[in-house]
Structure 1
Amino acid sequence: MDPLSALRDFTVRGELDNITLVGDEFRFADDYSFPCSTETAFRSKQGNLYTLETLLFFVRHHHLKHTEYLQSARFRRVPAVTLPDRKPLLDYLQGRIASSDSIELLPPTAMTAVANVDEYRPDDPSFLTGAGQSIASFPSYTVAGARGEGIAPDIVDYVSLIRALERPLKDRESLLECRNRDFYSVLMASTRREEERHRIESQQRKDGLVAKTRLFGSDDRGDEPGGYETPKPKMHLKGTKIGDGVPIILVPSAFQTLITIYNVKEFLEDGVFVSTDVKVKAMNGSSKPDCVTVQKKLSRDRAVAAYEVRDKPSALKPEDWDRVVAVFVLGKEWQFKDWPFKDHVEIFNKIIGFFVRFEDDSVESAKIVKQWNVKIISVSKNKRHQDRAAALEVWDRLEEFMRSRSHS
């Protein structure tokens, strides 16, 4: 008989008290003997087979509430039965149902008849060790057939006894419990960081207006006392002036492009390329920003202009298009649908274009882009130390473009 059927038989007959622990085995009266760690035929909904030790402890303590049962199992260091398995398992063991989908019968080699197991017999001198060691040294175990506290038989495998006492300190359920942990402080720290980020971006917008005036303002001196410079913005893009406010950089909203509104800040400010997928997962469900402010932080320039990065051209007002100075292209014509320009030739005469690709991508990926007036920027898939050079190349091209248009 397999361990599960034997346990069911003894449970239905109300003879659980006749199951005793001897060494690392459970003795079912004088009928059967199985190792404690034997896997039974009952499979958990989590996929593992319950051991005989787990099922015996459960059926003896099923009257407890599940939380109390779990605490008792952890105290005794016995793996526990999960909550979804409690009812079908108990119904089967107590005979209310004849079978279950969770039962997978094991081969008969998994069981051992008690007749093949030597018992402790005090009247047989061959079982005496001569050392006089008492079985009381192992109070958690009893030897079948022993009368009182006798002498331990020499067949006892002490290593097995020690290993039988070992139990996992943590299981799947206990790991999910976080006692004495307060996540309120984590939430508050995260909130403070988010507020600080918004404050810094707001300040960067203001600083960007000042830096833009310094970078593209007139070199003429005014008549104010002290010879202070009177800024006279005179920047034009082939007849189209830059509108008031922070210059705008457009990025695609499609995920198949390398640079998006999710990762543009790390790339341009820190010189590090992080994939959009990674950034989206890190946001943990937060909504996508409508606008991101970036500044060049990769050099020691004192006057640093700020730029707004957006990915919704359809949301731009007519006056906003006067502030658009650069675009990261997807390499598809439909990206420029409904733009206020005749074609891509006019677009890239008034706006500088960038196409970011992996350096080992096929030539076909940039076939259309090579027909446009667009600068191709290559980044490595794995060599992150090369990202800084790629980001600096974008800044150099952008600043050169801005200077040339300011004097046109």
Structure 2
Amino acid sequence: MDPLSALRDFTVRGELDKIVRVGDEFRFGNDYAFPCSAETAYRSKQGNLYTLETLIYYVKNTHIKHIEYIQNARTQKIPTVTLPDRKSLLEYLQGKISSNDAIEFVVPQNPRIPDSVPMDVEEYRPEDPGLIGIRVPADEEEDEKDRVRVLEKVDYVSMINDLERPLKDRESLLECRHRDFYSVLVASTRREDERQRLESHQRKDGLVAKSRLMGADERGLGFWKDGEELGFDSTPKPKMHLKGSKIGEGVPIILVPSAFQTLITIYNVKEFLEDGVFIPADVKVKQMKGPKPDCVTVQKKFSRDRVVAAYEVRDKPSALKAEDWDRVVAVFVLGKEWQFKDWPFKDHVEIFNKIIGFFMRFEDDSVESAKIVKQWNVKIISISKNKRHQDRAAALEVWDRLEEFVRSRSHT
């Protein structure tokens, strides 16, 4: 008989008191003996098979509250029956129902142990290491060497897994009510932000000075590390002139709106482009010390100490000189016509032929929010309101399109 059927039989007969634990096994009177860790044929809604130890402890403690049952079981290090399984399991063990979908009789039946023969239990491991049995004394009709009764085939991995009790996974933690994990994100990025800011200030003077001495075509595909040029093409190229559609001399400029209606501003552009993390501008304003910066240097990197290129980010187009406009390569658009008032271009067609435009939006915003910009030659970049791990992909898309545009413009 299998362990589940034996337990049901003793429960229906009201003989649970005859089930006694001796060492690592349960003895059902003088009828049966099973290992405590033997898996039964009853499968939990969580997917695992309940062990005999779990079911016996449960059926003997159905009279106490569930929370008290769980606490007591944990004290004794016994796996528990989950709340969704309690009712149907108890009805089956008490004989109120004959079966249910959770029962899978796949465990080999255990032979009946003679009532009159005292059991001398010892571990037996035949060629198959997954088989565990008991050895009992021989009688007159059987040879003692062959008196090995295999109780069941044990899956040791499942036995170990049964002792593990997952409390919460990553998704359930993030879905907790009344908890705001945004502050955790801000705190976790603050230290890295400060380190990056210090490094940026230390390198800015030397990097900007060197960049201003080199033509954009000479700089576009080059790499610098501690003053050493690591470019793809080391052949010197002539400097560019401030004519046509080529990039002017100096560090390329990215323009962002000064209004808070847009997602990317001069306050949070550095974290987004350098670190791939979107932090709302109003949060960054609260973190800032000192006045609003007129210019922010943003670096595209291969790694922490390998800079690909540097860009100046500004939000006051009116402060640009005529020669500065030749260095403008990108603009984050607000989606309003007045953003381009007094720009030195004829119309939107000319603007977005010479400057690549980006429009940042939340992915679940209405279509109306991008209705105007869809008429312009700009790239729409969507980010999630809550899934910050997706920000990096959006930032990389901006870099890829920007660098492709700069290369094509440099070779025009």
Instruction: State the TM bucket, normalised to the shorter chain.
Output: 0.3 to 0.5
Tell me the TM-score normalised to structure 1 length: 0.47
Q: Higher RCO, 1 or 2 (CA under 8 Å, sep at least 6)? A: 1
Which protein has the larger Cα radius of gyration, Structure 1 or Structure 2?
A: 1
